[in-house]
Amino acid sequence: MAEFWETAFKDKQEMWGLEPTQSSIISRDLFVANEVKSVLIPGMGYGRNAQIFKESGMRVAGIEISQTAIDLGKKRFGDELTFYHGSVTDMPFDDQVYDGVFCYGLIYLLDEQERVKLIKDCYNQLADNGIMVFTAITKVAKSYGQGIQIGKDRFEQFGGVKIFFYDKDGIEKDFGPYGLFEISEVEENQPFYVIKCRKLSGLTE
């Protein structure tokens, strides 16, 4: 996967533009309302979705597998963001706890074992009463069922990208044990679920 993203970023540079996603705006508002001061972003890319949190006064750290994306981010933000180079499957990268976690889209690129680990790792890095927000592509997407099926609700598409499509039962199964309190829907470039969880005081998996 690392080679795929290195090639993608080198070919298209800031390929998703600089405007924040609707999901990050929703999450920023939720974090502000809950006085979140620090945010961890697994799969931060070059920082497109990090900027909106930084501009709201939050300290932001992110994990990114593509060194090219990190270089783009550092060129734009300097030392204002903390980048960890590596795969989210190797979390944690520090011993910090964060008031918020924002994970945009990434989870649907992982297999079942990796998804479970990512959710658990993010939850464990939340401070008490912290909030984590994930977005995931839904089965309503036109691409659902396309390509080569490689597992339940998982398909290989777009020249080798493996995508898992969520429904609400799948979200309840994966996120239910981790303080799930709301599932909403948002239209990005694909129909996404916005999955919101809160860490109850003192609970660690």
All residues at 6 or more sequence positions from 24 whose CB lies less than 8 Å from its CB, including other chains = 49, 52, 53, 102, 104
| Mean pLDDT calculated for residue range 2-24 | 60
Q: Look at residue 89 and give its three-state secondary structure.
A: helix
**Right CATH for 2-138+167-198 from 3.20.20.80, 3.20.20.410, 3.90.228.20, 3.40.50.150:** 3.40.50.150
Q: For 135-160, what is each residue's pLDDT tens digit?
A: 999 999 999 999 999 999 999 998 88
- pLDDT for 170: 96
Look up residue 138 and give its DSSP letter: B
pTM of the model: 0.89
Q: For 110-133, what is each residue's pLDDT tens digit?
A: 999 999 999 999 999 999 999 999
Q: Above 60 in pLDDT, residue 25?
A: yes
Q: Where are the domains of the chain?
A: 2-138+167-198
E strand spans, the chain: 38-42, 59-64, 82-85, 98-104, 126-137, 148-151, 154-157, 161-164, 180-187, 191-198
Look up residue 166 and give its DSSP letter: B
Q: For 62-100, what is each residue's pLDDT tens digit?
A: 999 999 999 999 998 999 999 999 999 999 999 999 999
